[in-house]
Structure 1
Amino acid sequence: MEPEEEDELGSGRDVDSNSNADSEKWVAGDGLEEQEFSIKEANFTEGSLKLKIQTTKRAKKPPKNLENYICPPEIKITIKQSDQKVSRAGKNSKATKEEDRSHSKKKEIERLSEQLEEKEREAQQLLSQPGLEREKEVALLRRSVAEKERARAASHVLCRSLADETHQLRRTLAATAHMCQHLAKCLDERQGGQGTAGEQSPEPKCTEGDASVHAVVEKLREENRVLRQKVTHVEDLNARWQRYDASRDEYVRGLHAQLKGLQVPLEPELMRKEVSRLNAQLEEKMDDCAEARRELAAARSARDAALERVQMLEQQILAYKDDFTSERADRERAQSRIHELEEQVASLQRQASWRQDSREPVSCRIHTGSRSPRYLETDASEPVAAGGRRPGTGSQWLDLAAEGGCSGVTQRGQGDLQCPHCLRCFSDEQGEELFKHVAECCQ
């Protein structure tokens, strides 16, 4: 187990050397960040001390009565001597490491404070210069790099504390394994001694001794397994932090390359090309603005024309509405006039039929000698048709009404008909035309 312990300690030294090489790349922060760094480091050391206390509590020795029962005095002396050697070596290495660590921390703090002051002076000088966008951009990039480096420093402190805990766990594991070996040797010797004296000693004592030894061995194996699991977990965490640090270093190198590219002055030819490109873009933007202004003017003119058309259409709608209302009133008046005329025509037709009925006997008596029998038959058959009305055209009925109710018969012919609205005259053969004319004229 001792060569393995030396290999593990050597790997821990490699981790410490890598972490120290990485710490040389740190960029300084301000005073507040240094305080946070010290607080985090104190927390990490406190956590590591708690973990050490727990591991020492877990790795305590078995009861003394069991050791006295299992191990002879010679083996006890050798175990105590080995434990004392391991504890002295651990204390000496721990004290030296603590001194080296405190000394290195002080040096790192002093170096970081000096770098911080230098970087602050550079930043103030850059910001006090006349406003150049590239210089400001460089300052911003430097600030971001400083923040990344501060975060990397915190992660490095965490890595270092985890590495210390890993070394402590490895030492505890080595001491436990050494103790297990001694106990196994003692157990073998005990079993050999019991094999020779097995016939003399009673069986219950042998079984009790074997059970206690097996219990101690099982307990030690369980503790060994738990410690190995912790070691693997811490190694996994350490590998993760190393990968994280490597990726961060690569990112920081990329930022440094960008800073170097920005700090290099541009050549005059490149500057001229850049100026010409910017001028071309400016002209394109100005052309786009002019086109947008023309489109805006066209849209405004179209909007004004649309508003004028809307107003014109509104006026037309109002005029159409007035026309519709006037036409509706005219139709209502014409309809009422038609009803009045229809009532007048009906009354005139009644009067004409009544007068015709009253005049037919007299006419029959007057014209009996002068008319032929054919005329007499027609005169006699007329009162019987249609309930006392004479069959024939409407012009004959209007003629009779005109003869009965109008006084101006002498002004026109005896068989003429006249429109009651416009006083237009029609002959007896134009009865249908008279009805059509009356219908159109009264509308």
Structure 2
Amino acid sequence: DPGSGGWEGAQQAAAELCGLYYEDQLAACDSLIARLRARLTTLEGDTAQFLVDAVLEQVARRVERLTERLGVKEEIQQLLSQPQHEREKEVVLMRRSMEEEKPARRASDVLCRSLANETHQLRRTLTSTPHMCQHLTKCLDERQHAQRNVGERKHTGRDTSVQSVIEEENRLLKQEVTHILAYKDDFMSERADRERAQGRNQELEEKVTSLLHQASWRQDPQEPDACWIHAGSKTAKYLATDAVELIAPGGWRPGTGSQKLEPPAESGHPGTAQRGQGDLQCPHCLQCFRKELLRHVAECCQ
């Protein structure tokens, strides 16, 4: 067949070209190894051993790769050198292996699709995660704000109750202060009245003392009846009324006997030695009395 003959010729030409290429690479590697060995020989005394080992290891790896390529090239040449039926047999085997690999390929395709779906879902989840985080943050802020408002209302209510208690206490204290001021005003007015009464009592006592003193000096000891005959009952009445009005507000109160006035002592009158402290002397008969002075004066002056 001329078509098959052309195909075989092309394959042989390609195999020859590959062989020439690999042969050239092997020749280049051999020349490189030779140069390196020559250089190593010249630098043997100055080069460190680890550098030599590294270069040799690198060259060995290169040789291994080239050897593998050369083996592949020989396999291709053997395949091309086989007859037509043998090549077809190899093709059938390759197709059978491909058919056997189809279920695994389908499974891998299904697995890839499921992985792609999961990847898509994960991407959607990642995309929605920021929105969800923002929503949760907003809900948390609203809840904290509500809790703060409740706490502020409770605090405000507590402050209001405390303020009402303080206002009630202030009101009670103001009432007490008002009562105390009223008591103070009453006390001050009573004190002023008491001071005025004491001053009035003192004035009346002084007036009674002066009247008694004048009455005692008006009597003449040599003519005891002249003054009282001339004065008559008018003097007794005057002395009785003045004694009741003036002596009573002072130190002596009729019927109590607690306090009495003491008239001024006169050394020139008889009966002075017999008069004790707190006794009152009759201006007519010069006798001393304690409680019966007024009645005696009324009887004596008549």
Do they fold alike, i.e. is TM over 0.5? Answer: no
The two structures have a TM-score, normalised by structure 2, of 0.32
Greater C-alpha radius of gyration = 2
Q: TM-score, normalising length from structure 1? A: 0.22
Structure with greater proportional helix content: 1
Higher RCO (C-alpha under 8 Å, 6+ residues apart): 1
